[in-house]
Amino acid sequence: MKTVDQIREFLTDSLAKLRKTGIDQGEILYWETESGTLRTFLNRMGPSVTSRDADVYMTAIVGKKHGQAHTTDLSHEGLDRVIHNCYENAVYGNDSETVFCLPGTYKELPPFKKKIFFESTLDLSPEKNVDTLHKISEESKKNGLTCSARLMTGGARLGIANTSGTFLVTEYTEVSLSLILTGDNGVSAYASDASENIEFLDPGKVVQEAIQNAERQKLRPPVELDFSGKETFFDVILEPYAVAEWIEILASIGFNGLLFEEGESFLSGKMNQKVVGDNISLFDDGSDPGGFIAPFDFEGVPKEKKVLFDRGVLRSVCYDSFLGAKYGKRTSGHALSPFEKSYGAIPRNLFMEGGPSSLGEMIASSIRPTIYITRFHYTNVVNPKEGVLTGMTKDGTFLVQNGKFSGPVSNLRFLENIPKALCRVTHLGQSRRVHDPVGYGGLFPESMAVPPLKIEKVRFIGSSGNLAR
Amino acid sequence: MWQKFSSKIFDLARKHKVEYIDVRIIPRHEEEIILVKNGEIHELVKSEKSGFGIRILKGGAWGFASSSRLEENEIDERFESALDLARASSKMQRRPVRLFPVPVISHGFYKTPVLKDPFKDVSIQEKINTLLKLDELMKQSSARVNVRESNMTFSKINKILMNSEGSFIEQELVESGAGMEVIAVSGEEVQKRSYPNSFRGNIGTAGYEFIESLRLEDHAVRIGEEAEALLYADPCPEGEKDLILMPDQLCLQIHESIGHAIELDRIFGSELTYAGGSFLADHLKEFGSFRYGSKRVNVVSDPTLSEALGSFGYDDEAVAAQKTDIIREGVWVGLLSSRETCEELNEVTGKSISPNGCMRASHSNRIPLIRMTNLNLEPGSGSLNELLSETRDGILMETNVSWSIDDLRKNFSFGAEIGWEIKKGKKARMLKNPLYTGMTVNFWNSCDAVCGPSEWRSYGTPNCGKGLPGQAMHVGHGASPARFRKVKVGSRKG
């Protein structure tokens, strides 16, 4: 990987060359990720990989036109070509009605509230990590379970320079472990954790959490729920993994300034109005040490706290500089990576305030039939304008009644207006960080801290038929 | 040039006595994205990517390492990384990887047939002008249209694959795609229509002639008018109805409820930590006899199909593209497989199934996985009008807007942009927010009609997700309109 100093030199040289083309404004982004992913399935080793990717993105603004270009070719010829392409793209087409202005001048970052780069996490030698997965597998076997796991370690260096004077480079690391334990009679349990520092990740704790979930399923016989034809409403207890999935999707369609302004979001036109329950407060803060620290967004705008829901009232949505210019708003520091930029601006360092209830209290309070849900699979947007989502429960779905677990149930399909459901939250527990990255693009510090929730009368429309796996 | 680059890698492989190695080099992958929104260029990007990936089998386990820097000084370190991964992994390998023997392709070459090179024969300005013209047509279609979007995407990728068995394959794959959508708004009501498909249109392996064949300008006004009409349409009723799915919706149904379920790596469980498993794992012993659907259901995997997005010459482990029967008259007879999984399958079942060229990686920085190619529902007979005339009380749904399916591919839910009530053999009122849900095997067994070849359409799906780290694969699906009896339908409203 290029060092921080080498990235600074690269940005300085490249920006000087881009300026010479005759642009009015320009931006260079250098993003290098090195990561390793080990996978196991059913106690077997799966395909494991390591990759090293360096990407250069450029933006040019000429008058009221703009264009972008990208390359992974860092040779002189490759860089000359990307500069040429970027300039050419910026002079095509018609003038925009909007005057764009790249954000600046950010040259120094405030001290981080915790360390975000650890050489030990960037050490991708696999022996120790395979050993970790082996131990997890053996621990699972001792409990009569089969383990499928994913351990990712890696780091990235990200630098941004623009003609408005922004010049920032940062480096960060990340390790994440997720696992699914499966057993006889459809037992399936999940747990995950993540950290900046591989020394802080406790695989033993993660596997014990999943074993506990699996044991709960093994102790009691499965309960069959009848879903023949009719929709059914249940109170639900959601673990933070499940809550995180709902909130992540709501954030991408709700607080996204693009969809908000175009009228597609369930929050469009509802600024300063009560949208969810009084007990729901949500903010985004890439500088909060409770999550992964993201020093700045993909336009070099430093991250700061942004209140989204304040006791149920919508207080803000997210913009990057392009959306801000178009709709007369200031960038909120939520520019997405260049390959996602056309999708808008999305908060990805989210914190939902918790409450005093423990999961035990939520269970004890559940006299009528209640569904306890560990997580969801393939949750997707059914109706963005109303915030309606559907998805299946996964890896630990239980019936709770008379204040205790009755037994595992098959996976269930919910179809629910989530903002309305968030008006029916009766219990909130303590927030915990949830992060299980998929890694379609480069590494960037994102995470969420959310509490377990108990919600009344959630709509279910079907099940997987019999107890899955 | 690349022989020299790779010979260094193969020398290292011999020195370290690896069991197998393949090297994938992407000297150049060129992409162009143009997105026009409400009369302005929203995105205009040119991208150039390159890189190489090394996959090593040592001690019965895989190791893979890649770099986006196509430089000789990256080779030693990347080779060592792949080797270290394989060595470390072998310590936990319960069942050593064995590869099904396949013929060596000593010099394979494939190039997407292209009539008009989208990078050379058509200027960016011409493409922009076309998109701006579409934008103007959509603008004129309805005063209720709030957002207009039109786009084109082009890709040309040069790939080289070499392996330690002596295969050497060069491919040039060209993709062209375009689409448009409008969003109409009235108060709290929002409706969307797209053409030729949702999620940025249709993509094929072809040149600019593919864009021209879409006849985008013929549909720009229609989608605007339909989006406005949907604002005032009745909601889709709830209940069990006979359901006719148009090809642009049926393709995703095939993708989710057949395509992913028949991937042999998922059946064996290797995607449990992300994409999920397959209900067919419980039916492996019934392979060749399991009833997946009704006798009307015939599904093939066909990467040799002209212009379809999942077409290529060879997969990423040097197996030639080939057509495979997947479901024949409703019976499950085929799989999407790899050399590794076929070995294991044959061991488990005692059969002799050959790999059918489905191992693909999204780029040089990702390891090949079993992926769909073009998974198509074969045409039946008759026209859509004939099918409608034989339907007394049903609903027709068109153009996907939402999708979800469980991790074993059993319980699904899909939403469509637009629906039509079918009464006494005729299209009646327009319906908004249609949605349907069901169970995979029940659903395909309820299929009682598939229209004929003249109604058959192919669509590209450029965002098929799988693998960790994630890989978005380009695959294709074709279908004619088909009818399914007594399907649970409802509204997407909350």
Cβ of B44 within 8 Å of Cβ of A386? The answer is no
Of A53, A70, A387, the CB nearest to B45: A70
The pLDDT of B424-442, averaged and rounded, is 97
Could you tell me which residues come within 8 angstroms of residue B75 by beta carbon, excluding any fewer than 6 positions away?
B5, B8, B9, B12
Mean pLDDT of B456-463: 97
Do A94 and B39 make contact, defined as CB atoms within 8 angstroms? yes
Amino acid at A293: I
Give the Cα separation of A206 and A179 in Å (integer): 8
- The mean per-residue pLDDT over the stretch B145-149 comes to 97
pLDDT class for A469, splitting at 50, 70, 90? Answer: very low
Task: Answer for the pair B258, B297: CB distance below 8 angstroms, yes or no.
Answer: no
Of A130, A262, A439, the CB nearest to B89: A130
Please check whether residue B405 is in contact with residue B199, taking contact to mean a CB–CB distance below 8 angstroms: no
Instruction: State whether residue A63 is helix, strand or coil.
Output: coil
Alpha-carbon separation of residue B271 from A41, B56, B275, B319 (angstroms): 7, 20, 5, 22
Q: Count of CB contacts below 8 A, A vs B?
A: 282
Q: Which residue among B40, B91, B271 places its CB closest to the CB of A130?
A: B91
Nearest to B203 by CA among B172, B174, B246, B181: B174
Which helix (H) or strand (E) segment holds residue A458: the answer is strand A453-463
CA distance A301 to A166: 8
Share of chain A above pLDDT 70, in %: 99
Say if the Cβ atoms of A262 and B411 lie within 8 Å: no
**Distance, CA of B404 to CA of A10 (rounded, Å):** 44
End-to-end Cα spacing for chain B:
59
**Contact check, Cβ <8 Å, A72/B51:** yes
| Nearest chain B residue to A390, by CA | B404
Token readout for A96 is 């925009």
Show the 3-state SS of A259-302.
Answer: HHHHCCCCCCCCCCCECCCCCCCEEECCCCCCCCCCCECCCCCE
Locate the DSSP E strands across B38-93.
40-58, 61-67
Residue-wise pLDDT for A223-249, tens only, equals 888 776 678 999 999 999 999 999 999
CA B113, distance to chain mean position in Å, is 20
Residue-wise pLDDT tens digits, A403-432 = 999 999 999 999 999 999 999 999 999 999
Residue with structure tokens 């919706």? B249
**SS3 of A353, please?**
coil
Environment class of residue B187 by beta-carbon count within 10 Å: exposed (0-12), middle (13-18) or buried (19+)?
exposed
Task: State the Cα–Cα distance between residues A452 and B109, nearest whole angstrom.
Answer: 55
A382 in B contact zone (CB under 8 Å): yes
What is the mean pLDDT of the segment spanning A99-103?
92
Interatomic CA distance for residues A445 and B46, integer angstroms: 27
Residue A225 near residue A405 (C-beta atoms within 8 A): no
Residue A24: name the closest of A96, A112, A131 by CA.
A96
Note the pLDDT of residue A468.
Answer: 41
Helix axes A4-20, A76-91, angle to 10 degrees: 50
Cis peptide before B434 (omega within 30 of 0): no
Predicted local distance difference test score (pLDDT) of residue A439? 84
Q: Does A273 touch chain B (CB under 8 A)?
A: no
Distance in angstroms (rounded) separating the CA atoms of residues B413 and B488: 10
pLDDT for B465 equals 96
pLDDT on residue A466: 66
* Lowest mean pLDDT across A145-149, A268-272, B139-143, B350-354: B350-354
Q: How confident is the model at residue B1 (pLDDT cuts 50, 70, 90)?
A: confident
Task: Provide the sign of the torsion angle of the four alpha carbons B195, B197, B198, B204, taken in this order.
Answer: negative
Which of residues 403 through 432 in chain A touch B, CB cutoff 8 A?
A: 411, 413, 415-417, 420
Among A282, A348, A292, smallest CA distance to A320 is for: A348
pLDDT attached to residue A230: 78
d(CA A178, CA A41): 12
State whether residue B309 is helix, strand or coil.
coil
At A95, the amino acid letter reads D
- In the predicted model, what is the mean pLDDT of residues A366-390? 97
Lowest average pLDDT, out of A3-12, A88-97, A375-384, B278-287, goes to: A88-97
What's the rounded Cα separation, in Å, for the pair B208 and B205? 10
Distance CA A317, CA A285 (A): 13
Instruction: Strands of B286-371 (E only): list them.
Output: 299-301, 324-328, 331-332, 359-360, 369-370
Mean pLDDT over all residues of chain A? 95
Mutate to test the interface with A, among B40, B52, B240 (most CBs of A within 10 A): B40
Q: At what angle do helices A203-219 and A126-142 cross, to 10 degrees?
A: 20
Q: Is residue B102 within 8 angstroms of chain A, CB to CB?
A: no
B42 and chain A in contact, CB less than 8 A: yes
Q: CA A212, CA A425: separation in Å to the nearest integer?
A: 26
pLDDT, chain B, mean = 97
